[in-house]
């Protein structure tokens, strides 16, 4: 088999797996209520003085009320972070982000020009993480990720201007890159 044929076979296999996942996820019942557990108990408020179609001029706020810290990933990496990790890695970064507006956060790029912090399609993260979202009854189509360093990522949901911490990924396993 040539390299080209092998690449095409891998791409075909990946597309078939994505289609299977999509069919499974589409089979999940959806209603027309709030799609995230984080937002269900929050009071609704009108954002005065802000373009209601844009959150980018809002200051970043964050919440760590309901992180998924039970158990471990299949790789053995625990979902829970240590106090040291929280105090030395996660909290300082969240505090930095809280001084910025969303457009400033999303404008940050790496040395290679890639955006460091951005929403991602749930379909693009690992199958294990997708299953975990289903177990947690999160049915959002996108999940937000902050880059905290070379490998560490902080995953969660952005509800209007507030980031809700879900997972700390110290080894870049939720969205692995080759």
Contacts of 67 (CB under 8 A, 6+ apart): 156, 165, 166, 167, 168
178: which 2 tokens? 């080759």
Q: What is the pLDDT of residue 32?
A: 47
Q: By the 8 A CB rule, do 102 and 119 touch?
A: no
The predicted structure's pLDDT at residue 71: 95
Per-residue pLDDT 10s for the chain (178 aa) are 788 888 888 888 887 777 777 655 555 555 544 555 555 666 666 555 556 557 888 999 999 999 999 999 999 999 999 999 999 999 999 999 999 999 999 999 998 999 999 999 999 999 999 999 999 999 899 999 999 999 999 999 999 899 999 999 999 999 988 6
Distances (CA, A) of 37 to 14, 41, 140, 159, 161: 30, 8, 10, 11, 16
Q: Residue 49: what pLDDT?
A: 54
126 and 172 in contact (C-beta within 8 Å)? no
Q: What is the pLDDT of residue 160?
A: 87
């Amino acid at each position: 088999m040539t390299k080209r044929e092998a690449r095409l076979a891998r791409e075909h296999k990946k597309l078939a797996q994505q289609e299977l996942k999509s069919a499974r996820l589409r089979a999940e019942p959806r209603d027309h209520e709030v799609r995230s557990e984080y937002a269900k108990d929050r009071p609704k408020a009108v954002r005065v003085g802000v373009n209601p179609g844009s959150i980018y001029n809002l200051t970043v706020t964050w919440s760590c009320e309901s992180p998924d810290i039970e158990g471990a990933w299949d790789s053995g990496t625990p979902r829970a972070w240590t106090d040291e990790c929280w105090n030395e890695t996660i909290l300082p970064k969240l505090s930095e982000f809280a001084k910025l507006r969303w457009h400033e956060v999303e404008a940050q790029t790496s040395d290679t020009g890639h955006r460091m912090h951005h929403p991602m399609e749930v379909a693009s993260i690992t199958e294990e993480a997708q299953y975990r979202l289903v177990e947690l009854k999160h049915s959002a189509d996108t999940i937000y990720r902050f880059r905290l360093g070379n490998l560490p990522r902080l995953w969660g949901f952005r509800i209007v201007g507030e980031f809700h911490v879900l997972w700390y990924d110290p080894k870049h396993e939720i969205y692995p890159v080759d």
